[in-house]
Amino acid sequence: MPGNHSRYIILDRDGVINADSDDFIKSPDEWQPLKGSLEAIARLNQAGFIVGVATNQSGIGRGLLDLPTLNAMHQKMHQMLTKLGGHVDMIAFCPHLPDDGCSCRKPRPGLYQALAERWNIRLEGIPVIGDSLRDLEAARAVEASPMLVRTGKGRRTEAQLEDSQDIPVFDDLALAVDHLLRSID
């Protein structure tokens, strides 16, 4: 299978890479990276990781932002990453509302499957870093390896986890990436 020489990782966006808001992130100005998150992505790139982002963006379906605005947010992220020597290889997003019944909105695994299809890989064992239960559930559905960060909704999510779930928990993306990079050395 092509691409097996590379390492892959999937990140949630809001609450993992950038600050989250219960009122949604609706503009490039509101899109603010969390401390150390962009540097962590650049370290992943330097270690040979292909980085994908999978993000629910129901703000589009709710009429709170449009596609050009979402693209402008992602352009801001790309520009900030470029300055640090980093990049995101692909962003998959779901614009649908929770009740739309789509296959892409997490906790359904459609966004992860779209990344896997694009990359022509299997998702078993691929690290997936998120801050919400739905990120972790979608990762489990495709046999990926979920990891939780305490940023964003992560502290609330951690309180919901059962001990038997055996999901590693880190204070933020930078510490999760430190752990990952140490484990592959």
What domains can you pick out in the chain, each with its CATH number?
7-184 (3.40.50.1000)
Has 14 been annotated as catalytic?
A: yes
Q: What CA–CA distance (Å, rounded) separates 73 from 15?
A: 15
Has 163 been annotated as catalytic?
A: no
Mean residue pLDDT of the chain comes to 94
Q: What CA–CA distance (Å, rounded) separates 134 from 155?
A: 14
Residue in 48, 52, 49 with CA at minimum distance from that of residue 16: 52
Residue 166 has pLDDT above 90, yes or no: no
pLDDT tier for residue 185 given thresholds of 50, 70 and 90: low
List pLDDT tens digits, range 143-160: 999 999 999 999 999 999
Q: What percent of the chain has pLDDT over 70?
A: 96
Question: For the residues 94-120, what does the mean pLDDT come to?
Answer: 96
Q: How many CB atoms lie under 10 A from the CB of residue 30? A: 15
pLDDT tier for residue 3 given thresholds of 50, 70 and 90: very low
Strand order through the sheet with 49-56: 90-94, 49-56, 7-11, 127-130, 145-149, 169-170
Residue whose pair of structure tokens reads 């980093």 in the numeric block: 86
Catalytic annotation, pick one of 14, 131, 135, 172: 14
Residue whose pair of structure tokens reads 């947010």 in the numeric block: 73
List pLDDT tens digits, range 35-66: 999 999 999 999 999 999 999 999 999 999 99
Catalytic annotation, pick one of 12, 20, 135, 172: 12
Specify the pLDDT at position 51. Answer: 98
Specify the pLDDT at position 164. Answer: 63
Residue whose pair of structure tokens reads 């379906």 in the numeric block: 61
Find out whether 149 and 173 touch, Cβ atoms under 8 Å: yes
Q: What CA–CA distance (Å, rounded) separates 179 from 147?
A: 11
